[in-house]
Structure 1
């Protein structure tokens, strides 16, 4: 006759084996917010239902969603969006239980597009470029820090458990590139503005506890005017709203890996 102790030890593995396995975490709800760089303007294959928002099937949010199969995917990014537009129109749509939110915003608040037109195309004067960049730098210094902080706080309150990944912007034209679009001094000053914008976005994101995805290294060597085979950024093109935006290659090769690292890190 076995002792009660031996019987208990013998039965223990059966009890352990019979215990239900802990369920693996399910897919998260994902919300993609922001401007044309998040919407995928310039990448083609636009959703007709998105109209002037120009949401692309080749955008980094759509690529992420297709690869990871979130439980729910809100694609709210829209071309031309300002921080105020995201705050008013996009943040309230984010599910309170979202697990991941990505955001690209800030360029339009600086009139980034106007500065690009003034500095990065033929037949514009240095004075026109300088005035446009002076205004962008004023907005970056005096207006954008508070706008980003307000937006980030609202997003944090809307989805408090979400991992929030905010991205920066790439250099649009590479330094040293042989390019008739703009002389080197203009490109250097425009790239310096991009660097200051990215630095501000990163700093404000850190204050809120968000994660930052820096895309500049990924785009290095693939800026406009590098030759068609190596370009991930459109030069001046038609339709004009695609100019100085990432091509499909820039979304998949530049934005997607940078965002993935920040989202999964």
Structure 2
């Protein structure tokens, strides 16, 4: 599907722009509070700000509850979070791992993973150009993890992991400034996926919060809370884009994933804290993603 194909109906929905601006404002406010306040704010401040955006009017859920079978044909799309970067045993320039959440989910559920077309570093544009070819009218299930690289998360990871607090917060601010362009990009991607796989259920995953920001006295509290606020803003934009697709009758649903108790700063984080895969889940983290998919979809009957 060409990106231009879905622009006409988007132009008729000014609420998309207003909601994106509201998300941007809420996340930016949370960032300013954590980065500039003389006294640290609660770890709940970013979460409350992100969830303060009014939810769209509820519509009938078009996502079917059909059981999986051993012959369910599954295709995974997305970026490094779908490829499994950081899980170990990675191969090729796309950093594909047998410990990625699509591979683990396929093994746990007993369905047929036709291909994991995800690639580290992929943006929404990359997915449209290189990954849609994996889909056809025989595809039964699609998972999608995309959007982070459109905001320049690689630069955030590099500066923040290196302990460059000012540069880190500047990168987060830059990422937040791009949130307003993401809704249209996601809308184009999700519409294209639905068109390329017209008989498939589509599950869109969110990005887990990276830090345990529950201790306001921690040395890196402000940085941790700022990154979490940006992640919450990204997830809210993704969720709203999925809601727009559902309102049009697309069999699509949003799946949030939370590493509560296993974020960076916890005793046993499910995230890499150093190296080229910093801020990406470990094998245990990807297993949690797979477990959430099992909870949503079940296993093959």
The alignment's TM-score, normalised by the length of structure 2, stands at 0.70
Residue 130, structure 1, aligned to residue 164, structure 2:
no
Task: Note the C-alpha offset of 1:251.
Answer: 0.8
The partner residue of 2:263 within 220, 223, 236 is 223
Among 10, 22, 28, the alignment partner of 2:72 is: 28
In structure 1, the residue corresponding to 2:228 is in which secondary structure? helix
Q: Rate the CA distance shift 1:178–1:43 in 2: closer, same or farther, 3 A.
A: farther
Work out whether 1:248 is the aligned partner of 2:288. no
When residues 55 and 196 of structure 1 are mapped into structure 2, their CA distance, relative to the original with a 3 A threshold, is same
TM-score (norm 1): 0.79
Q: Distance in 2 between matches of 1:233 and 1:177?
A: 19
Quote the residue 2:54 is aligned against: none
Partner of 1:52, secondary structure, is coil
Which residue is 2:178 aligned to? 139
1:114 aligns with 2:114: no
Tell me the distance in 1 between the aligned counterparts of 2:162 and 2:88.
Answer: 22
How many residues in Structure 1 have an aligned counterpart in Structure 2? 227
Native 8 Å contact 2:139 2:199 kept in 1: yes
In structure 2, the residue matched to 1:206 is: 243
Which stretches of structure 1, 4 residues or longer, exceed 6 Å deviation after superposition? none
Tell me which residue corresponds to 2:106.
65
Do 1:60 and 1:256's aligned partners in 2 also have CA atoms closer than 8 Å? yes
Separation of aligned partners in 1, 2:200 and 2:118: 17
1:196 alignment partner, one of 214, 233, 247: 233
Equivalent residue number for residue 105 of structure 1:
146
Kept in 1: contact 2:76–2:118 (CA 8 A): yes
The Cα RMSD (Å) is 2.2
* 1:91 Cα deviation from its structure 2 partner: 1.3
2:212 pairs with 169, 174, 189, which one? 174
Alpha-carbon distance between aligned partners in 2 of 1:91 and 1:177, rounded to the nearest angstrom: 43
Aligned to 1:43: 87
Unaligned runs of 5+ residues in structure 1 are 1-23
Unaligned runs of 5+ in 2: 1-67, 247-251
Determine the C-alpha separation between the residues in 2 that align with 1:73 and 1:97.
11
- The answer to whether the Cα contact below 8 Å between 2:124 and 2:189 also exists between their aligned partners in 1 is yes
- 8 Å CA contact retained: 1:211, 1:262: no
- The match for 1:52 is 93
CA–CA distance in structure 2, aligned partners of residues 37 and 248 of structure 1 = 11
* Cα displacement (A) at 1:130: 2.8
